[in-house]
Amino acid sequence: MISAEVVIKAQFYDLDPMQVVWHGNYARFLEQARCALLDRIGYNYPEMEASGYVWPVVDMRIKYVRPIRFNDEVVVTATLVEYENRLKIDYRIHDATGQIATKGQTIQVAVRADTGEMLLESPPAFTEKVKAAL
């Protein structure tokens, strides 16, 4: 499948009182990798909007394996695992030693922007881009 990765350096403002990255910031890290993946496919948020669809996240799961601390540089990898009926992306966050710090997954569904109707399969505007990127 198609993957993309981004490098993120944990900043002071990312930390919680225990001096590790606050759990809520991981969603932002996943979003950065998701956008890199969607760029690689050629169907990021502006292309979604232009095609007449919005893709809300309907499910997000995160498994915290190891803490990320101030100044840690991590690689966030987003991999497309399903696209015919929904957009399912797996995420892995690795630390500098290559050890997994976090695992995650998001599911998004196509919704017609004009009617709010959820589709039961992904529209050709998206699936054709995926097939071209494979």
How many residues belong to the chain?
134
Measured in whole angstroms, how far is the alpha carbon of residue 90 from the centre of its chain? 7
> Which tens digit of pLDDT belongs to each residue from 10-38?
999 999 999 999 999 999 999 999 999 99
**Positive or negative: CA dihedral 77, 3, 85, 114:** positive
Per residue in 40-76, pLDDT (tens digit) is 999 999 999 999 999 999 999 999 999 999 999 999 9
Task: Please report, for the domain that includes residue 112, its CATH number.
Answer: 3.10.129.10
How far is it, in rounded angstroms, from Cα 121 to Cα 46? 20
Domain count within the chain: 1
Structural domain of residue 20, as residue ranges? 3-133
- Cα 118 from chain centre: 20
Q: Quick one: pLDDT at residue 68?
A: 97
